[in-house]
């Protein structure tokens, strides 16, 4: 009971036992309570790496099931968000088991080609390590991964977005959206020319440099996002993950999808809508953690905090 209260669990008697048993995998406080009691009895604490480890499983599977005359060629371990896991292990070594990083690395090496580790990260490993206490064992373990082969994957955000925004009725889309875009073609051409001028030599994707692809992919394919919105989001990969950007697009689409098209006027998701969405919090977080060399979001947030109550909502967006 005392250990539970120390960990923030105010549950009594039999209910506490049931809670601990039911939530051992999804509530970190259960491990804290168990360790307090275990240490009081044995003088030591529980470690995840005790007993069967991740390395043991990798070696056993690769040895028994992979290779000549066996069902599989090799074991492939796909580890998504490996960078985030490194940060989590550093902050919660007793829960996540920081030695697991070393065990997995050594097991892959000991498998003699029968096991392959593929970890996906958004930034260089050094970027994640820069936020970790220098005395952490994780620094030493992850250093071994830094010597592994690296491959860089890139995807065209604009094309992905255009394909995700499916046109249920292409004929009606062309009749309503296509005609409106054509009517204001000169206006959109000026926007396109401005984007090219602002970007200088940095703009290398064909969807932006080619007028034909720009009209097909950006103007029509990414509608209802305004071309300027697409341009800003496509250059935001340093601030956040691409799937976060796509999630934002989905949320904003739901909002604008309820609006009616009146004549040649088209509703859009404008760049200003980014400020009023969850994506701004991610961009702000990236600046505060030093992942990007920018302070724009921090400065804007500081202005809103200090004098935001003196201005209208529309004025702040401006």
Closest CA to 280 of 317, 312, 253, 315: 317
Statement to judge: residues 222 and 290 lie in one domain? yes
| pLDDT of 263 | 67
Q: Looking at the domain assignment, is residue 150 inside a domain?
A: no
Residue 114 has which token pair? 């029968």
What stretches of 47-110 adopt beta strand conformation (E)?
75-79
**Residue where one domain finishes, among candidates 96, 112, 145:** 145
Statement to judge: residues 218 and 272 lie in one domain? yes
Statement to judge: residues 172 and 125 lie in one domain? no
| pLDDT of 78 | 92
Through-space distance between the first and last CA atoms of the chain, rounded to whole angstroms: 54
Check: pTM over 0.75? Answer yes or no.
no
Closest CA to 114 of 177, 70, 180, 148: 70
Statement to judge: residues 189 and 287 lie in one domain? yes
pLDDT one-digit tens code per residue, 35-54: 777 777 777 666 655 566 78
Q: Looking at the domain assignment, is residue 47 inside a domain?
A: no
Statement to judge: residues 72 and 35 lie in one domain? no
Q: Looking at the domain assignment, is residue 186 inside a domain?
A: yes
**Residue where one domain finishes, among candidates 114, 145, 176:** 145
Statement to judge: residues 204 and 224 lie in one domain? yes
Query: Angle at which helices 28-42 and 13-22 pack, to 10 degrees?
Result: 110
Q: Looking at the domain assignment, is residue 152 inside a domain?
A: no
Statement to judge: residues 97 and 140 lie in one domain? yes
| pLDDT of 241 | 62
What are the backbone dihedrals phi and psi of residue 261, each rounded to the nearest 5 degrees, phi first? Answer: -90, 120
Give the alpha-carbon dihedral of 157, 160, 163, 166, to 10 degrees. Answer: -80
**Residue where one domain finishes, among candidates 145, 167, 199:** 145
Q: Looking at the domain assignment, is residue 48 inside a domain?
A: no
- Number of other residues whose CB lies within 10 A of the CB of residue 202: 7
Q: Looking at the domain assignment, is residue 312 inside a domain?
A: yes
Domain range enclosing 22: 2-42
Burial of 213 (0-12, 13-18, 19+ CB in 10 A): middle
Q: Looking at the domain assignment, is residue 192 inside a domain?
A: yes
Q: Which residues in the chain land under pLDDT 50?
A: none
| pLDDT of 4 | 60
Cis peptide before 224 (omega within 30 of 0): yes
Question: 203 with 139: CB under 8 angstroms?
Answer: no
Q: Looking at the domain assignment, is residue 49 inside a domain?
A: no
Statement to judge: residues 223 and 95 lie in one domain? no
- Number of domains, the chain: 3
Statement to judge: residues 74 and 221 lie in one domain? no
Statement to judge: residues 30 and 109 lie in one domain? no
Statement to judge: residues 168 and 102 lie in one domain? no
Statement to judge: residues 179 and 311 lie in one domain? yes
Question: 53 with 95: CB under 8 angstroms?
Answer: no
């Amino acid at each position: 009971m005392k250990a539970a209260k120390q960990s923030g669990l105010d549950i009594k008697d039999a209910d506490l036992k049931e809670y601990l048993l039911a939530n051992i995998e999804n509530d970190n406080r259960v491990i804290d309570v168990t360790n307090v009691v275990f240490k009081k009895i044995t003088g030591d604490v529980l470690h995840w790496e005790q007993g069967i480890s991740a390395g043991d499983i990798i070696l056993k599977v690769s040895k028994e099931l992979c290779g000549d005359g066996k069902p599989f060629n090799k074991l492939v371990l796909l580890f998504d968000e490996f960078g985030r896991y490194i940060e989590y292990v550093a902050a919660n070594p007793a829960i996540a088991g920081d030695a697991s990083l070393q065990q997995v690395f050594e097991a892959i090496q000991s498998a003699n080609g029968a096991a392959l580790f593929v970890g996906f990260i958004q930034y260089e490993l050094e970027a994640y390590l820069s936020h970790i206490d220098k005395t952490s064992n994780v620094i030493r373990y992850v250093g071994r991964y830094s010597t592994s082969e690296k491959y860089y994957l890139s995807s065209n955000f604009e094309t992905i977005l255009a394909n995700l925004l499916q046109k249920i009725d292409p004929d009606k889309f062309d009749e309503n959206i296509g005609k409106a875009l054509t009517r204001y073609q000169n206006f959109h051409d000026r926007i396109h020319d401005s984007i090219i001028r602002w970007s200088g030599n940095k703009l290398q994707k064909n969807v932006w440099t080619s007028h034909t692809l720009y009209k097909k992919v950006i103007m029509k394919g990414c509608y209802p996002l305004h071309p300027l919105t697409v341009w800003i989001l496509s250059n935001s990969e340093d601030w956040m993950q691409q799937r976060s950007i796509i999630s934002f697009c989905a949320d904003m689409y739901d909002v604008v999808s309820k609006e009616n098209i009146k004549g040649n006027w088209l509703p859009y998701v404008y760049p200003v809508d980014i400020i009023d969405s969850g994506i701004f919090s991610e961009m702000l977080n990236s600046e505060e953690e030093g992942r990007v060399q920018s302070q724009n979001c921090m400065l804007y947030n500081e202005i809103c905090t200090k004098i935001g109550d003196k201005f209208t909502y529309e004025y702040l967006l401006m």
